[in-house]
Amino acid sequence: MRKKKFFIFGVLMVLLVSALLIFTGCPSSESIGHIAKYIYMTDTYNGRVYTYDLDTHTASSTPIVSTGQNATGAIYFYDDKGYICVGYSTGGIYTFDPNSTSPTTTKFSSLSFSAQYIAFLNDKTAFTTDYGEWDKPTETGGVYLFDPSDSNSSFTFITGTIGTSQDIKIYGGKVYVASYGNNKLLVIDANKNYSITSYDIPLGTNTTGLAISSDETKIYISNTGTYGNTDGTISVFDIYKNTIETFVSGLINPTLMAATDTYLYVIGYSNTYAINISTKAISELKTSDGSSFGGSSILIHDNLLYISNFDYNNKISKLYIYDTSTNKQVYYSPISVGKDGEDGITGLAAY
């Protein structure tokens, strides 16, 4: 009788955990329950979207869809729909159905702005950052609120966010924004009428990238600094204490990041770093032949680190893939796109 009770209790616990996963989801750009088959890659110059097959480890030679726009960047998947950011003042957000046999892109509403990154709160609420005008970093740009389920959704500007904005993340009903133009971290409380608290970066300038720690207690913030110099820093914001301090310094132009339990991976214009979270020891990731390389987008999927790179000398994009347990390169794929482009592949997402 006791064994039967324990068995029933175990079954109930499994059902409870399964229900929690269904209703709470997980912090990912992939649709819940979907098993990814490809890494989707956007080409910044012409907006074409290519795929990298996770089974064969090969990149497609022809695009599956295109925005037809220059400055195409970040790509996301949410509720089985693809979302693409297009920069410049004539840009905006485009969507497509990745499950269609002949997908096409549709632009969200008629608003044109320099869309940079997106964060989804739920199926009716999302946020996107606007770079604004490059020569007016503190006077233009900011954060918009929109409904991702409605392609005719209006974009509502969130008062108090003005100033060139870059990466954006959501955790616990709060929206975290890298305010590049103001050298600040903005925290928008979605539960309190989008009220804003700003935090000054203690050391470093040109706030760009964000990454949530694997234990979901901290936000890492990259401050790119000045081109080619070692004044780049990483700040760390404690989500529960609401404090911010310098994590590491002395980096060359850190931009976007991704975190595991052990490492914070950081890409720059010409260098890529693996920073031990416990010891703060900084090591440089290099190619299998020992060369330094930078990246334009970064993604961790199934314990593999994906970094896109554009070879300006040969005018070809490259995808470097590392095992996060060893920090060793395991795959390399030249991608025959971006030959006439500016930066080649600038967006990565698994679906």
What value does the mean pLDDT of the chain take?
88
pLDDT of residue 12: 35
Q: Which residue shows structure tokens 């020891």?
A: 281
pLDDT over 70 at 346, yes or no: yes
pLDDT band at 331 (very low <50, low <70, confident <90, very high): confident
Q: What does the pLDDT look like over 77-111, one tens digit per residue?
A: 999 999 999 998 889 999 999 999 999 999 999 89
Q: What does the pLDDT look like over 169-227, one tens digit per residue?
A: 999 999 999 999 999 999 999 999 999 999 999 999 999 999 999 999 999 999 999 99
CB 116, CB 87: distance < 8 Å: yes
Tell me the two tokens of residue 319. 């995808």
Chain Cα centroid distance, residue 279: 25
pLDDT over 80 at 28, yes or no: no
CB 106, CB 124: distance < 8 Å: no
Outline where 86-168 has alpha helix (H): none
pLDDT of residue 260: 98
In this structure, CATH architecture of domain 33-350 = 7 Propeller (2.130)
CB 47, CB 86: distance < 8 Å: yes
| Domain range list for the chain | 33-350
The pTM score is: 0.89
Neighbours of 133 (CB within 10 A): 14
| Dihedral over alpha carbons 168, 349, 318, 330 (to 10 degrees) | 110
Question: What 3-state class would DSSP assign to 268?
Answer: strand
Q: Mean pLDDT throughout 262-272?
A: 97
pLDDT of residue 115: 98
Residues counted in the chain: 351
Which strands sit side by side in the sheet containing 174-179, from one edge to the other?
165-171, 174-179, 184-189, 195-200
